[in-house]
Chains A and B, each alone.
Chain A
């Protein structure tokens, strides 16, 4: 008896019991169900929720792998054990087994916790509420490890995932009903609950926190640290990284957000497969560029000089904003979340533009929140239904007007 048969008989055995949704979920995740519906209308479509989710996960895999290499790379560079990359994206200093294995063993527990706890909560709710398990968590579970710092304590992640899935999603009625992006809810919770583990110059490089503690206890090892580019710009310090480093992603940051190149490829893949909305992505990029350009103009006009605390970020060339921090990742993978984004085409332009615009504004004006994209997306998630409402109303009004002219 194969696995499929086993699962099938298990499913039959638990049919009608409270545990049925849990077994159904496993069964339909791995195989197409072998029973068909009788009567009624059937819609045959090539893409269902599961395929959508799987496509996004495929687009995320390169970022995950890169993140593992980068975690090791940042650690060994900060510790002075290896040289910084010199020869482009395929530098041999970067793609080493040593880098990968360090990153792999750090990221794997985070990934496992994210999926284990999140799906656990989903299964629990499905069993209690007696509905089928929804696929919504598949993407969230992959996004979470990519947007947290490498040294995040695992128990905090457990608390945050439970909070994010229950308060961010289940209380609204589960997948498809949530107002806020669950992955960002999880990150926002971590950010406000444990700010010392989510910002500063110690959390982005593996082992930096521990090394600091050892030194405080009398160890003679050298301190290691890695400030994100946004962090040092917010304090008007210079940047040690070249534009190519930023583009390729050889910089400190949350695990999967650093490589703009891979995010760009992932974004193109999502657009090509028609999973992600190109309108949102494009308008977000425009919004960010416009805000960045306005700040550049303000500096050029001499209203802000280098004595101002905003100078560092304001004078950053406007298009560099897209390469640093998590804005590219947020725009491609989170702003386009079909559940929480605007649904109308015109609405998507407005929604996306404001995400980019507000992200850069928060980034520059509030040094306490070095990355604004998380808050910008959550804010616009809340406004998305309002935007849609007015777009639809506008459309209705326009049509009524035309109808009146004809009858008159």
Chain B
């Protein structure tokens, strides 16, 4: 991290692990449950949120001294909504099937608590460069969990990764399926996503006991 000072790199690295928005702050759970049945939508969602949060953080940070504090929530909402519409339109133009699959959840990025949370807690009080790094870090922390959950759910639930049949063909009975393995249908259902997130939280906290709160 020669490019960044120690303080700056902390802004990015902290939310990846010890201050992760999903596993530590338990924010943004709804989308983490809804779109992680496959790996590809998880990654697209992660990228979208990285874009919205980093750019949004910079915009809010630049305007922080001229936003009247009484109407700051409305201003923040307009910024997020604009960015989300950009993401939505880009997806519709260049990845229509994916945009169909993610359906309403791209629009619902607006309501993702992580975004408003970072605007309020960080961008309103810090400069654009720091806010940019904070946005990248938090969105990446969110995306990281999404990708981990998506990886396990797609692998165990459908036997594929990015749609490739990595475990063999379940209809033709090749690979693992030849010896009797079967996909776990529970993995595709949202409740299992919650349990997978719970397991990640468990693993993380048993590796780092300081994270356990009473």
Residues in chain A within 8 A of chain B (CB atoms): 153, 155-156, 159, 167, 171, 189, 192-197
Contacts and interface: CB of A to CB of B under 8 A. Distances in A.
A373 to B, nearest CB: 20
B185 interface: yes
12 contacts: A153-B180, A153-B182, A156-B182, A167-B195, A171-B198, A171-B202, A192-B189, A193-B185, A193-B186, A194-B182, A194-B184, A197-B182
Q: Is the interface of A mostly helix, strand, loop or mixed?
A: helix
Given A167-B195, A171-B202, A192 B185 contact: yes
Interface string B180-203: 111011110100000100100010
Interface string B2-45: 00000000000000000000000000000000000000000000
B180 A193 contact: no
A192 to B, nearest CB: 4
Nearest to B206: A128
Contacts of B189: 192
Interface residues of B, number: 11
Nearest to B195: A167
B182 A195 contact: no
Contact of B186 (A155, A171, A189, A197): A189
A156 B181 CA distance: 9
Contact of A192 (B181, B186, B198, B202): B186
Contacts of A189: 186
Contacts of A167: 195
Contacts of A193: 184-187
A153 B202 CA distance: 29
A155 B180 CA distance: 9
B185 A194 contact: yes
B197 to A, nearest CB: 13
B191 to A, nearest CB: 8
Contacts of A159: 184
B89 to A, nearest CB: 37
A-B complex: 10 closest residue pairs judged by Cβ atoms: A193-B186, A192-B186, A193-B184, A193-B185, A195-B185, A194-B182, A153-B180, A192-B185, A167-B195, A189-B186
Contacts of A195: 185
Contacts of A196: 182
A24 B189 CA distance: 41
A195 B182 CA distance: 11
Contacts of B182: 153, 156, 194, 196-197
Nearest to B199: A167
